């Protein structure tokens, strides 16, 4: 997969791609990226990227010309172009899976109050929100989207870890334990030491259900409506 990230903070973007498991995917050639500085596409002496909004109001808006020139340069008319914004469609795992099937993705990282609507009309395929809260940096939201997508690419994770995780079954994950058996007086649940895999699976299912009931009753409701029972086979 090829990722092209347009922003005003290429250093921030570089730090994201050069750290952790994402860097390994780049090394393994599962992923390549282009880090594009929108400011490189300005034509005025002051390299201006933003301006006050027409109609008044607080904050600044990214001007269409530099951003549009950057988008044209990376071929935004040919590739799926994503604008992370709190005003977009809500992201989820199914959306991540859909995006992971694309050969190339372009991300526009805005700051200020947003970007000129005509850029959205001309170039953007998806306006995506990562949740009901507001971040000051479009980069952070783009990083969340990129992380959720790249880990689904073949060769990044083991297929077992992908299959077992939350949201596949529609329930939250059960608790995990590792050695030692007793930590600060707290014991690992006896059943996990029993070697009885049927009982362990049943316990994990109960734990998943309890946790989902407590934190995400909406997910249980959705499973019921879809007639899927409780995931977990
Ligand atoms: Cl995609 N961007 C920003 N700046 N804030 C957000 C968001 C995106 N999704 C939720 N809050």
Determine the distance from the C-alpha atom of residue 190 to the mean position of all C-alpha atoms in its chain, rounded to a whole number. 37
By most ligand atoms within 8 Å of CB, the mutation choice from 96, 127, 130, 137 for ligand 1 is: 130
19-75 pLDDT, tens digit per residue, is 878 999 999 999 999 999 999 999 999 999 999 999 999 999 999 999 999 999 999
Angstrom distance (rounded) from CA 223 to CA 171: 9
Atom 7 of ligand 1: nearest residue by CA position: 86
What Rg value do the Cα atoms of the chain yield, rounded? 22
- The pTM is what? 0.92
What pLDDT does 231 receive?
54
| Unique residue bearing structure tokens 């393994």 | 28
175-219 pLDDT, tens digit per residue, is 999 999 999 999 999 999 999 999 999 999 999 999 999 999 999
Q: What percent of the chain has pLDDT over 90?
A: 88
Is the model's pLDDT at 170 over the cut of 80?
yes
Residues whose beta carbon lies within 6 Å of some atom of ligand 1: 84-86, 128-131, 133-135, 138, 141
Helix (H) or strand (E) holding 186: strand 186-187
What pLDDT does 74 receive?
98
What pLDDT does 164 receive?
62
State in Å: Cα 210 to ligand 1 middle.
30
Q: Average pLDDT, whole number, for the chain?
A: 94
Angstrom distance (rounded) from CA 6 to CA 103: 17
Q: Does residue 8 contact residue 109 with C-beta atoms inside 8 Å?
A: yes
110-162 pLDDT, tens digit per residue, is 987 899 999 999 999 999 999 999 999 999 999 999 999 999 999 998 877 77
The mean pLDDT value for 67-87 works out to: 98
What pLDDT does 69 receive?
98
State in Å: Cα 145 to ligand 1 middle.
11
Is the model's pLDDT at 87 over the cut of 60?
yes
State in Å: Cα 138 to ligand 1 middle.
6
């Amino acid at each position: 997969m090829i990722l092209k990230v347009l922003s005003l903070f290429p250093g921030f973007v570089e730090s994201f791609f050069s750290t952790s498991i994402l860097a390994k995917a780049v090394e393994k050639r599962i992923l390549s990226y282009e880090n594009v500085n929108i400011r490189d596409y300005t034509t005025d002496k002051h390299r201006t990227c933003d301006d006050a909004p027409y109609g008044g109001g607080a904050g600044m808006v990214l001007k269409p010309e530099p951003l549009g020139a950057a988008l044209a340069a990376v071929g935004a008319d040919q590739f799926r172009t994503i604008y992370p914004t709190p005003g977009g469609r809500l992201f989820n795992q199914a959306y991540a899976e859909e995006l992971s099937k694309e050969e190339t993705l372009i991300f526009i990282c805005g700051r200020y109050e947003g970007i000129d609507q005509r850029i959205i009309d001309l170039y953007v395929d998806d306006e995506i929100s990562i949740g009901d809260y507001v971040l000051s940096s479009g980069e952070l939201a783009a990083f969340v989207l990129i992380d959720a997508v790249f880990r689904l690419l073949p060769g990044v994770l083991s297929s077992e870890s992908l299959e077992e995780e939350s949201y596949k079954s529609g329930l939250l994950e059960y608790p995990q334990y590792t050695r030692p058996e007793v930590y600060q007086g707290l014991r690992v649940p006896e059943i996990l030491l029993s070697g009885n895999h049927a009982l362990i699976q049943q316990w994990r299912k109960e734990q998943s259900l309890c946790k989902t009931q407590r934190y995400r009753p909406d997910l249980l409701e959705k499973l019921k409506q879809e007639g899927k029972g409780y995931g977990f086979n």
